[in-house]
Amino acid sequence: MDHGFWMERWQKGQIGFHNSEVNGMLLRHHAQLGAAARVLVPLCGKSLDMGWLAAQGHEVVGIELSRLAADAFFAEHQLQPVVEPLPGATRLKAGNIEILCGDFFAIGRQELGAVTAWYDRAALIALPEAMRGRYVEHVARLLSPAARGLLVTLDYSPPVAQGPPFSVDEAEVRARHARDFTVASLERREVLSAEPRFRERGITAMHEQAYALVRRGTHS
């Protein structure tokens, strides 16, 4: 899975991963992020969750590969961003929301600035198994010590390989985050009944699960 895969999805409007409403887990557990945080949203797309977080008083920083997605976010929220070229990325900023357009793995703390929280609803589960370890390690490098996170995953059975979204169970979440984060499960709920497209793929059980994470005190 490379850059071309995601760029093509946005160009063709194949964005079934985009939710048309704010995520329920975020609505119920956003307090895990703390008050007035600077919140990183990796692989953000044009998520409505960013606008909701900003409305709660947070400063929101998304990272997104597709400029189409970033432009769509600001247009759909009737915002006119200031565009600033950066080495290896482009910053679009309006009010307390900014999106850095570029390769997630090439963006560092210098471009991002200090972040005290992060929110992941569709990033970890968008990546195949071979990329998920690298993703978690890079998130850890971007965060300030003691940063607080809210992670939302899907796990399903049988765990077919044709993602995204990919199935990421609790054992994997804990194993991948053990070195740099504390992890606590917040909520787990059945979601297959509301997702006929997954039943059509032969999936017989699917759950959405939310976790609270805290970055340990030193950078790796």
Query: What is the CATH number for 191?
Result: 3.40.50.150
The verdict on residue 17 lying in a domain is no
Distance CA(30)–CA(118), nearest Å, equals 11
The model's pLDDT over 92-130, given as tens digits with 9 standing for 90+, comes to 999 999 999 999 999 999 999 999 999 999 999 999 999
pLDDT band per the 50, 70, 90 thresholds, residue 11 = low
pLDDT score of 148 more than 80 = yes
Q: Can you tell me the mean pLDDT for 70-86? A: 95
Q: Can you tell me the mean pLDDT for 54-75? A: 95
Total Cβ atoms within 10 A of residue 79: 15
The verdict on residue 197 lying in a domain is yes
The verdict on residue 19 lying in a domain is no
* Nearest to 63, CA basis, from 146, 21, 144, 122: 122
In DSSP terms, 9 is beta-bridged to none
The verdict on residue 18 lying in a domain is no
Domain of 124, in residue numbers? 3-12+24-215
The verdict on residue 36 lying in a domain is yes
The verdict on residue 220 lying in a domain is no
Q: If you write DSSP's letter for every residue of the chain in order, what string do you get?
A: --HHHHHHHHHTT--TT--SS--HHHHHHGGGG-SS-EEEETT-TT-HHHHHHHHTT-EEEEEES-HHHHHHHHHHTT---EEEEETTEEEEEETTEEEEEE-GGG--HHHH---SEEEESSSGGGS-HHHHHHHHHHHHHHSPTT-EEEEEEEEEES--S--SSPP--HHHHHHHHTTTEEEEEEEEEE-GGG-HHHHTTT--EEEEEEEEEEE-SS--
pLDDT of residue 18: 47
The model scores a pTM over 0.85: yes
Q: Can you tell me the mean pLDDT for 15-40? A: 87
Inter-residue contact 25 to 97 (CB < 8 Å): no
In total, how many domains does the chain have? Answer: 1
Q: What average pLDDT is seen over the chain?
A: 91
The verdict on residue 194 lying in a domain is yes
The verdict on residue 85 lying in a domain is yes
